[in-house]
Structure 1
Amino acid sequence: MLFDGWDSLLRTLVVGVLAYVALIFLLRLSGKRTLSKMNAFDLIVTVALGSTLATVLLAKDVALAEGILAFALLIGLQFIVTWSSVRSRWVRRMATGEPLMLFYCGEFLSAALRQARVTEDEVRAAVRSNGIESMDKVGAVILETDGSFSVVRPGGNGSSFRGVDTP
């Protein structure tokens, strides 16, 4: 069907604008953490919010109030989990995981590479993207919880490695 009538278009327009405004308001209210660089947990919440917005916009049997409640529920649950993860290590590990050391002191950590399903070439690419031309100038490469690579130069006392898993 190409056109259901002006009523459905008007509903989509009105509900779309109101749902968008409500979502922006709730996201701003929830704080910067909701919009931060995403790890797997944040990605799930973001996809769920997008799916909910699409459902509210296009499903005539879903009221705007139900959609706003769903937005608030998802954002509220994310707030509770992130609040708890700041206070409890086991919640943090369940929600976001732990960073993983992939390269240390001139050696690739094979078990960690297998566990993370990362190749040595991907680690080398991360080193190059940090402007380092030689692996000899790298102290460590860490796979962060958001999927990014941190490249650390040698030296220092290694205090930034606290909480990093090494299989």
Structure 2
Amino acid sequence: MEILDIFIHDTTWDFILEIIIRCFFMFIFILFFLRLSGKRGIRQLSIFELAIILSLGSAAGDPMFMDDIPLIQAFVVMSTIIILYRLVTWAMMKNEKIEILLEGESLCIIEDGMMVIHDIKKGKYSHDEFFAEMRQQSVEHLGQIKVAVLETDGSLSILFYTEKETKWGLPLFPKDYKKSEYLSPETFYSCMNCGATQHLLHLEQECPRCQAKSWAKSLSTPHLH
């Protein structure tokens, strides 16, 4: 085999143009499906960093073991992906709407010790996943939290109440996060769906925020920093 075949083989200018077109559409497809996957799947990486890893990884892999794919094709693919990446990041810096479209917005998912149900659904979090994230930051109940924000990279930022400001709130650990079977009139109860906290007249009372009817005994312990 001639050395020239390793780099060029039977590549034509028409095929190079086809590669560029294919790269463009595959790059768009990758961004689209990553955007649909939600923030959980790209934790610690931006959506563009992950798109670059997937795109370049695929482009670099095939020429390593397929002798009918010359290196020039992989070079064209990788160059096109990098150019697209630069163009998209430039567009994001110039236009905030493009940035929001591709990377989304930060979502406020806890406010004043209660869940913002609408934003939690937008972030594609289940309650179990959401509670796990909170527990990993030593949150015992929602009454400890003033504000919690789901960032665009999937990380969770929390602003805690001070010890004196801590409220009664929904417990997050399995031992306490369970539906109450007996009513104590002087006890605070928290809605297991949204975290609204109040005294109850009966355990089948409807939550005024979300209309759920499952209540757990509230906690009021301060956050340990």
**Structure 1-normalised TM-score?**
0.62
Unaligned runs of 5+ in 1: 1-10, 12-36, 156-167
For residue 100 of structure 1, what is the aligned residue in structure 2?
Answer: 107
d(CA) in 2 for partners of 1:72, 1:123: 39
Matched residue SS, 1:117: coil
Aligned-pair Cα RMSD in Å: 2.1
Is 2:148 aligned against 1:141? yes
- Note the 1:47-66 alignment, pairs <5 A: 47-66=54-73
The corresponding residue for 1:71 is 78
Q: Name the SS for the 2:81 alignment partner.
A: helix
Q: CA offset at residue 65 of structure 1?
A: 2.0
Task: Check conservation: 2:110, 2:147, Cα contact below 8 A.
Answer: yes
Q: 1:55 to 1:93 in 2, by over 3 A?
A: same
Query: Would you say how many aligned residue pairs link Structure 1 and Structure 2?
Result: 120
Q: CA separation in 1, counterparts of 2:65 and 2:161? A: 54
Task: Give the number of the structure with larger relative contact order, counting CA–CA contacts within 8 Å between residues 6 or more apart.
Answer: 1
Q: Which residue is equivalent to 1:84?
A: 91
Quote how far apart the aligned CAs of 1:152 are: 2.4
Tell me the distance in 2 between the aligned counterparts of 1:61 and 1:90: 43
Larger Rg: 2
Distance 2:66 2:152 in 1: 35
Distance across 1 between alignment mates of 2:124 and 2:77: 35
Matched, 1:151 2:154: no
User: What amino acid sits opposite 2:134 in the alignment?
Assistant: V
Q: Which amino acid aligns with 2:74?
A: G
Query: Residues of 1 paired with 2:128 and 2:146: CA distance?
Result: 17
| Amino-acid identity (%) | 23
Q: Which has the higher helix share?
A: 1
- 1:54 partner amino acid: G
Counterpart residue type for residue 39 of structure 1: S
Question: Residues 73-132 of structure 1: CA distance to partner in whole angstroms, max 9, x if unpaired?
Answer: 112211211122122101211221112111111111111222222123322322221233
Equivalent position of 1:161 in the other structure: none
